[in-house]
Structure 1
Amino acid sequence: MIDAQSIKTSPNVPAAGQGYDAGKKTAGRKHSIVVDTLGVLAVLVTAAGLSDGAAGLPLLTQVATAQPTLTKAWADSAYRTTVIDGAAALGIDVEVISRDPATRSFTPLPRRWVAERTLGWLMLHRRLARDYEARPDRSEAMIHIAMIDLMTRRLTGENTPTWRGT
């Protein structure tokens, strides 16, 4: 699954590395990720003004080199343009998951929960709730560190420390 999330930035982030996501009405950066059920496969941090489709092709290129056995990806409707053709050239079939137009209430989209759950896990790390890093590559490293922390906690059976109940 491929998805993106807009994040506000701190004042120390240079203006050149920021943008404005008009859809979310957020100024800052955008974390684009490719995930599977086990964790993050690829991360790309860009200015928030960059469209999801423009970030999708470099992400899938990154995944195709790192995971050559990947043949199927799911995406929301923001990736329906050039990403599908570019991914086909890489040998990845991208299926767009769209909402049923007859549905008026909230219904979770199939397969999308994997990416939304991962983005929610990342927000549990205080350092990722707002982008404090001056360079996008350091923001990508922080996302990888957060996922390493999550995976080691799962492997060791250690609970996440919390301030509740103290």
Structure 2
Amino acid sequence: MTEPRPYPSDLSDARWALIEPVLTAWRAERRSGALDIGRPPEHDLRTICNAILYNRTSIPWRYLPHEYPPWQTAYAYFALWQKDGIFDQLTGLLRRHVRTAAGRDPEPTACVIDAQSVKTSPNVPATSQGYDAGKKIAGRKRSIVVDTLGLLLAVLVTAAGISDSAAGLPLLTQIAATQPAITKAWADSAYRTTVIDGAAALGIDVGVVRKDPATKGFTPLPRRWVAERTLGWLMLHRRLTRDYEALPTRSEAMIHIAMIDLIARRLTGENTPTWRDT
């Protein structure tokens, strides 16, 4: 019997080699801490990863192809990895590899912050949604912090009605704790006095990049365009064209997964298939 053909989203050997040590260590730690280890896990980690990556197509979890483990198993691992911070860990590991390959210091000293409002699917609880009057979008808001290469440092998903300023300060507080080398950030004018003053107390100087009122049409703005490009990269993952996740934390995990896939392909020189290719 011939092996089934891999899906375009499946991990190559090279990409699996990048993330396998982290996941293997996670499984070993969980099993060593169990009171009764019992029988070995039924599904290998690479197959579970492939199932999670396949979900970038925006299908419901229960619609996963039968070649993968049961959808309940795939989702359980997805939830566990989100809760245990595995996606954050993988994003950081791969980001450091990319920065080193680009001749940069592994840890950044500057960052860019921006936000994007997206519509939600019907399964998203109304309590976690809001209305962005500026963008005229009912749904959720993704606030991201990226380094100067556009690689993800932190993400916060809130109701769309939450102002950029209200989401920005918690994000920069997180950055100050996890990325102590960062002393400079750039943002747009939506991040007003509260963020600037709060970040200054954390040792981060926030520079506001404003658009020239006389400029018409789209014009890439210095520094800010890096974060806007990252948001564009994320939208190439069809799962992220809307917010399908019931919990905001799961939505943040999906953004990390998209970035992990993108960075891993960059490191291995592989093309990234997108929903526009189908």
TM-score range relative to shorter protein: over 0.9
Runs of 5+ in structure 2 lacking a partner?
1-111
Taking the aligned partners of 2:275 and 2:177, their CA distance within structure 1 comes to 41
Shift of 1:145: 0.7
Query: For residues 103-131 of structure 1, what are the alpha-carbon distances to aligned partners after superposition, in whole Å with 9 as ceiling and x for unaligned?
Result: 34442211111001100000000111110
Taking the aligned partners of 2:142 and 2:244, their CA distance within structure 1 comes to 13
- From the superposition, tell whether residues 148 and 11 of structure 1 become closer, same or farther in structure 2 (CA, over 3 Å): same
SS in 1 for 2:154: strand
CA RMSD of aligned residues (A): 1.6
Shift of 1:149: 0.2
Whose radius of gyration is greater, 1 or 2? 2
Aligned to 2:136: 25
Shift of 1:38: 4.7
- From the superposition, tell whether residues 162 and 87 of structure 1 become closer, same or farther in structure 2 (CA, over 3 Å): closer
| Structure with higher RCO (Cα < 8 A, 6+ apart) | 1
Taking the aligned partners of 1:162 and 1:129, their CA distance within structure 2 comes to 12
The structure in which a higher percent of residues are strand is 1
Aligned to 1:122: 234
Taking the aligned partners of 2:173 and 2:197, their CA distance within structure 1 comes to 12
Moved more, 103-112 or 140-149: 103-112
SS in 2 for 1:155: helix
Q: Are positions 1:2 and 2:95 aligned together? A: no
Moved more, 87-96 or 105-114: 105-114
Query: For residues 132-166 of structure 1, what are the alpha-carbon distances to aligned partners after superposition, in whole Å with 9 as ceiling and x for unaligned?
Result: 00000000011011000000111111112257788
- From the superposition, tell whether residues 165 and 143 of structure 1 become closer, same or farther in structure 2 (CA, over 3 Å): closer
Aligned to 1:98: 210
TM-score, normalised on structure 1?
0.95
- From the superposition, tell whether residues 102 and 165 of structure 1 become closer, same or farther in structure 2 (CA, over 3 Å): closer
User: Which residue among 62, 70, 77 is the counterpart of 2:189?
Assistant: 77
Equivalent positions of 1:1-166 (< 5 A) are 1-36=112-147, 37-161=149-273
- From the superposition, tell whether residues 103 and 90 of structure 1 become closer, same or farther in structure 2 (CA, over 3 Å): same
TM-score, normalised on structure 2?
0.57
- From the superposition, tell whether residues 163 and 4 of structure 1 become closer, same or farther in structure 2 (CA, over 3 Å): closer
Moved more, 94-103 or 154-163: 154-163
- From the superposition, tell whether residues 156 and 54 of structure 1 become closer, same or farther in structure 2 (CA, over 3 Å): same
Taking the aligned partners of 1:65 and 1:80, their CA distance within structure 2 comes to 21
Runs of 5+ in structure 1 lacking a partner?
none
SS in 2 for 1:4: strand
SS in 2 for 1:63: helix
One-letter amino acid of the counterpart of residue 138, structure 2: A
Q: How many residues align?
A: 166
- From the superposition, tell whether residues 153 and 18 of structure 1 become closer, same or farther in structure 2 (CA, over 3 Å): same
Moved more, 30-39 or 1-10: 30-39
